[in-house]
């Protein structure tokens, strides 16, 4: 009964502080629309500069250079958008200048006599195929991706025109879902976890407020146990986290996102992940005394969760050890990192709860550890009389 009474108290306090609650609820949906607008307005199109020195293009049937440029222009991504924005420039110097200014990702120079040489190679009159020259900045990783795809298209075109077989055949076997995913689709699971990370502030604020307002003493005199106190906070913040996640989920669907997994599986992972964030909040609150400290010092653990959980940008995977045939990365010490992976498998690959049991087990273990350490520290610093 004491747990339910304190649960009602914290719930009413959250409602009265509607500005903070509203900000928490709309933060993740706002980022869903923001990232959708960003990816929609700026699709992953690589700028390809072409210096065409083939004087024979379009003359006497020697149109190989023009056809190759057309092949680059017709290349598309999985969502149907153009892979390359092809821009013809008059000189290599102009191409180098644009590459250095990051106005383009890749420059390709088609040499003079390209069409004639390719036709001669196709007819067997020459044993040496023509050569194109790539220019890209080593500091621009997009140039490497653009070069790989540009070369692949050039090889395919030259092989078809010369009627020669490629020296290697490659087959592709799809793994996971069969639906092509855009970059926004890949980002949605991380945005859902970002919605849950926001619970860090509301949960920690609920705990620290009792210390800051000197009401912790009255709570202790009411015989409210630490476990009852934290159980009420956890349940209340888990509900806030689920509502925030649902709003972000609906926002993603409203802009065309098509989840492959079930909503029930998403909510199950979300509930467990929200509890994990509350556990981290207890640990954070144990070191703070005022709301002001939460708004300053508390931002540090928030950004750790946001950046090192792949909730904002994908990070390199640094393997720590292997467990049950799975790789455990250094960032997996954060339960939200496992949450991003579980959401990705469910939403984009159609996995069920059984398929993400390793991640769920990891979240449970980490939640227990964070709760154990956090409760011990919180009791020691703020509820030592209990």
- What is the distance between the alpha carbons of residues 42 and 101, in angstroms, rounded to a whole number? 18
pLDDT the model gives residue 295: 78
- pLDDT tens readout for residues 168-180: 777 766 665 556 6
d(CA 87, CA 51): 9
Rounded CA-CA distance 60/302 in Å is 66
Residue 34's pLDDT is: 87
- 268-293 exposure pattern, b = at least 16 Cβ within 10 A, e = fewer: bbbbbbbbbbbbbbbbbbbebeebeb
Q: What pLDDT is attached to residue 61? A: 44
Position 106 in a domain: yes
99 occurs within a structural domain: yes
Please check whether residue 175 lies inside any domain of the structure. no
Rounded to two decimals, the pTM is 0.74
pLDDT lower than 70: segments of the chain: 1-3, 5-9, 11, 13-18, 41-43, 55-62, 78-79, 166, 172-180, 212-224, 226, 383-386
Q: Given this model, what pLDDT does residue 123 score?
A: 80
- Cβ neighbours of residue 325 under 8 Å, at least 6 residues apart? none
- Co-location of 130 and 201 in the same domain: no
- Looking at the 3D structure of the chain, how many domains does it have? 2
- pLDDT tens across 48-96, in order? 999 998 864 444 444 788 889 999 999 887 667 788 999 999 899 999 9
End position of a domain, from candidates 115, 132, 162:
162
* Residue 340 CA from chain centroid, whole number: 8
> What domain range includes position 117?
44-162
86 and 195 both lie in a single domain: no
Instruction: Determine, yes or no, domain membership for 333.
Output: yes
What does the pLDDT read at residue 269?
Answer: 96
Do both 127 and 217 map to the same domain? no
Angstrom distance (rounded) from CA 80 to CA 146? 17
Closest alpha carbon to 284 in 303, 271, 311, 270: 303
Residues 89 and 210 both lie in one domain: no
Instruction: Kindly state whether residues 213 and 334 are assigned to the same domain.
Output: yes
pLDDT on residue 386: 42
Measured CA to CA, the distance from residue 327 to residue 309 in angstroms comes to 16
How far apart CA 339 and CA 366 sit, in angstroms, is 12
Kindly state whether residues 80 and 189 are assigned to the same domain: no
Q: Please indicate, yes or no, whether residues 7 and 54 belong to a single structural domain of this protein.
A: no
Question: What is the distance between the alpha carbons of residues 6 and 228, in angstroms, rounded to a whole number?
Answer: 8
Please name the residue that has the structure tokens 């980022």: 31
- Would 172 be classed as within a structural domain? no
Residue 334: count of CB within 10 angstroms of its CB? 24
Is the domain of 238 the same as that of 378?
A: yes
């Amino acid at each position: 009964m004491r747990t339910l009474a304190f649960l009602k108290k914290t719930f009413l306090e959250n409602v009265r502080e509607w500005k903070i609650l509203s900000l928490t609820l709309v933060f993740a949906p706002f980022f869903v629309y923001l990232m959708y607008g960003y990816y929609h307005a700026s699709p992953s199109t690589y700028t390809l500069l072409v210096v065409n020195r083939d004087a024979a293009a379009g003359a006497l049937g020697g149109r190989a250079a023009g056809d190759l440029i057309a092949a680059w222009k017709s290349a598309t991504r999985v969502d149907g958008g153009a892979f390359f924005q092809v821009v013809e420039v008059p000189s290599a110097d102009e191409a180098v200048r644009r590459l250095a200014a990051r106005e383009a990702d890749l420059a390709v120079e088609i040499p003079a006599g390209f069409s004639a040489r390719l036709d001669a190679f196709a007819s067997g009159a020459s044993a040496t195929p023509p050569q194109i020259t790539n220019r890209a900045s080593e500091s621009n990783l997009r140039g490497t991706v653009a070069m790989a795809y540009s070369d692949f298209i050039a090889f395919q075109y030259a092989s078809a025109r010369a009627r020669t077989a490629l020296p290697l055949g490659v087959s592709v076997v799809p793994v996971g879902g069969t639906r092509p995913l855009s970059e926004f689709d890949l980002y949605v699971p991380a945005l859902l976890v970002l919605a849950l990370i926001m619970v860090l502030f509301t949960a920690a604020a609920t705990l620290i407020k009792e210390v800051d307002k000197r009401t912790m003493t009255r709570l202790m005199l009411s015989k409210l146990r630490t476990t009852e106190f934290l159980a009420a906070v956890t349940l209340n913040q888990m509900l806030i986290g689920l509502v925030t996640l649902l709003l972000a989920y609906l926002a993603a669907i409203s802009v065309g996102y098509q989840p492959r997994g079930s909503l029930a599986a998403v909510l199950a992972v979300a509930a467990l992940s929200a509890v994990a964030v509350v556990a981290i909040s207890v640990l954070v609150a144990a070191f703070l005394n005022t709301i002001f400290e939460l708004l300053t010092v508390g931002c540090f653990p928030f950004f750790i969760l946001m950046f090192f959980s792949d909730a904002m940008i994908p990070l390199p995977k640094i393997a720590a050890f292997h467990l049950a045939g799975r790789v455990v990365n250094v960032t997996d010490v954060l339960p939200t990192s496992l949450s991003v992976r579980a959401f990705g498998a469910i939403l984009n690959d159609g996995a069920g709860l059984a398929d993400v049991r390793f991640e769920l087990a990891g979240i449970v273990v980490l939640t227990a550890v964070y709760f154990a350490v956090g409760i011990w520290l919180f009791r020691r610093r703020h509820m030592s009389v209990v």
